[in-house]
Structure 1
Amino acid sequence: MADGATLAVPRVEAPSGTSSLKRFARRRSTIAFLMTLPLMAVMGGLVLWPAGYAIWLSMLSRRMTSFIGLENFAILLESETFRLVIFQSVFFAVTAVIAKALIGFWLAHMLHHIPAKGQRKWRGMLLVPWVIPPALSTLGWWWMFEPTYSSVNWLLNVVGVPSVPWLGQPWWARISIIIVNVWYGAPFFMIMYLAALKSVPEALYEAAAIDGATSWQRLRYITLPMMRNIISITVLFSLIVTFANYDIVRVLTNGGPRDLTHVFASYAFQVGILAGNIPRGAAVSLFMFPILAVIAFFVLRGVNRRNREEA
């Protein structure tokens, strides 16, 4: 072959059917994108715009007349009260979610082994705490914990246990909030885990029983691995909701005693609305975002990795 000569490569035409499928797929994806635009606009108006406005508010002065940057965040971090709010929020969310996950899994496991006819009855009764408005049910708990007419203390006194200052001492008040949140949220874990248990093939349990596996081994090597993704997603969702909890704290303790039971949402309301410092209240509410973003990143990364391994 002479120097500088180029080798002509014959052009292979794609089959007409393939190009038609590609054009059809592109057209369908374009149509799908256009159909989701209204939903994206609604989400932008309800989520992105308020979030961006909250970030802007957090960087303004109290009178919202001048831009002060991150000064509100610096003032909050220097406040001992706000550092206690961070501790209380993390302690409340982590403790409550762990308790809800354990109780919900136990309830789901018990319901899973009840016959279908009786299971519907028990499932309906156990879901009652979750469907009652939290503010209304918390009022009932406040009456049960109230020191003068406490029905819980009356029952304790009947069996010889002294009365407990449920809402008068900081740690007892924290425990009271956690009890109410667990009572309200455990049915959600129960119904999610029960649905996951229904999806585990019974053949796996039968094969494990033939091999001589104990109930603990079946739980550890079959049930939990098959439920890992739903457990992760449920815990993540509950963490987000629990961190942002407002009703229970507001109704039960109103942040007391001595502002030691505030969480981010209730403290943001107190600082931003009651005290009239809206920019600083917005800064308080934004402290939840980095914490939840880190948790969501690791949880979702684990879910995606397990999905790739299973695929």
Structure 2
Amino acid sequence: MTVTALGTARVRRPSVRLRRLEDERWLALALLSPTAVLLGLFIAYPFAEGVLLSLSSAKVGDPGVFVGLKNFAKLADDNIFWTAVWNTFWYTGVTTVFKLGLGLWLAMLLNRHFRGKALVRAFILLPFIIPTVLSTFAWKWMFDPTFSVINWSLFHLGFIKARINWLGDPTLAMTSIMIVNIWRGVPFFAISLLAGLQTISPELNEAAAIDGARPWARFWYVTWPLLLPVTMVVMLFSVIQTFADFQLVYVMTGGGPANATHLFATYAYQIGIVSGLLSEGAAVSLAMFPFLFIIVVVQLLYIRRVETR
């Protein structure tokens, strides 16, 4: 009876849906579809809307009409826009160099064995963990000409005789926001480069030391080439984030004094939201895209070259 029952039992075949999921093409489509929908809703759709806005004369409460490249032509004669272009490149370049140098120095120190190493690593991450607006308000108070703890310290140390208006002078204001950006970005570089250093075998440096290589030679010819791929990836993310920075500059200076510290993002906000000129604000935002695209492509090509080499 058992044999008969087994012989007559019907083998359950998987449903059509399950059979399709066994195919890697259908499985990949099923897994990627939610991500594609989210990217379309929150990235592709806003980008397309921004392009349409930049080609129109839209204002707050007025949908406007199609004007072509008129908004971009207007930017070509806008001195504040070119100031924002220069500030963005200068701000990104200087802060990235300092973040890389200080982050690499900290990573080399943290890669050593010492008591309380885990606590120090957690403490270094604090500037990166604290919300940007909260930490920036604290820095804004420290740079305040009347209540500045920096002025107080410099005065009592004998370096200055009068109060310095850090955020009221164009050059000092730009320097101030760079200092804050470096302070926030160094932990990201340090922890990322530390992770890269820990993947390098200590035996390589030991072999170089036995061959008579000095510490600087061991770093330049052994450590740095192996750390370069990680460094380039970290710099890529830092450049993208810094190039489109908004919160820090908006809270510290709002683009002032006299529009001297505007970046692409802050100037687009002032034109599009504060002034209500949505189309011109969108044009400023899109003007940032070609510059950033070229920078990212160049860095990606260099990263591929480094990895293949």
Query: What TM-score does the superposition give when structure 2 sets the normalisation length?
Result: 0.89
How far off its partner does 1:34 sit? 2.6
Looking at structure 2, the residues matched to 127 and 100 of structure 1 have their Cα atoms a distance apart, in angstroms, of 14
Partner of 1:21: none
How far off its partner does 1:236 sit? 1.1
Alignment deviations for residues 244-292 of structure 1 (CA, whole Å, 9 cap, x no partner): 1111111111111100001111111110000000111111111221111
Looking at structure 1, the residues matched to 76 and 119 of structure 2 have their Cα atoms a distance apart, in angstroms, of 50
How far off its partner does 1:114 sit? 3.0
Instruction: For residue 287 of structure 1, give the secondary structure of its aligned residue in structure 2.
Output: helix
Partner of 2:35: 39
2:100 partner amino acid: A
2:128 partner amino acid: W
1:304 partner amino acid: R
Alignment deviations for residues 80-107 of structure 1 (CA, whole Å, 9 cap, x no partner): 1111111111111111111111111111
Partner of 2:101: 102
Partner of 1:80: 79
How far off its partner does 1:168 sit? 1.2
Looking at structure 2, the residues matched to 130 and 99 of structure 1 have their Cα atoms a distance apart, in angstroms, of 16
1:146 partner amino acid: D
Q: Give aligned-pair identity as a percent.
A: 39
Partner of 1:19: none
Partner of 1:267: 267
Matches within 5 A, 1:167-206: 167-206=167-206
User: Does 2:124 match 1:122?
Assistant: no
Gaps of 5+ in 1: 1-23
Looking at structure 2, the residues matched to 159 and 65 of structure 1 have their Cα atoms a distance apart, in angstroms, of 59
Alignment deviations for residues 121-142 of structure 1 (CA, whole Å, 9 cap, x no partner): 1001110010000100010011
Partner of 2:307: 307
How far off its partner does 1:241 sit? 0.6
Looking at structure 2, the residues matched to 114 and 73 of structure 1 have their Cα atoms a distance apart, in angstroms, of 55
1:290 partner amino acid: P
User: Does 2:266 match 1:287?
Assistant: no
Matches within 5 A, 1:233-244: 233-244=233-244
Q: Which runs of 4+ in 1 moved over 6 A?
A: none
How far off its partner does 1:45 sit? 1.3
Partner of 2:91: 92
Matches within 5 A, 1:52-67: 52-63=48-59, 64-67=63-66
Looking at structure 2, the residues matched to 82 and 302 of structure 1 have their Cα atoms a distance apart, in angstroms, of 30
How far off its partner does 1:224 sit? 1.1
Superposition RMSD in Å: 1.6
Partner of 1:140: 138
User: Does 2:292 match 1:296?
Assistant: no
Partner of 1:156: 154
Instruction: For residue 227 of structure 1, give the secondary structure of its aligned residue in structure 2.
Output: helix
Looking at structure 1, the residues matched to 117 and 288 of structure 2 have their Cα atoms a distance apart, in angstroms, of 38
How far off its partner does 1:29 sit? 3.7
How far off its partner does 1:229 sit? 1.2
2:101 partner amino acid: L
Partner of 1:112: 111
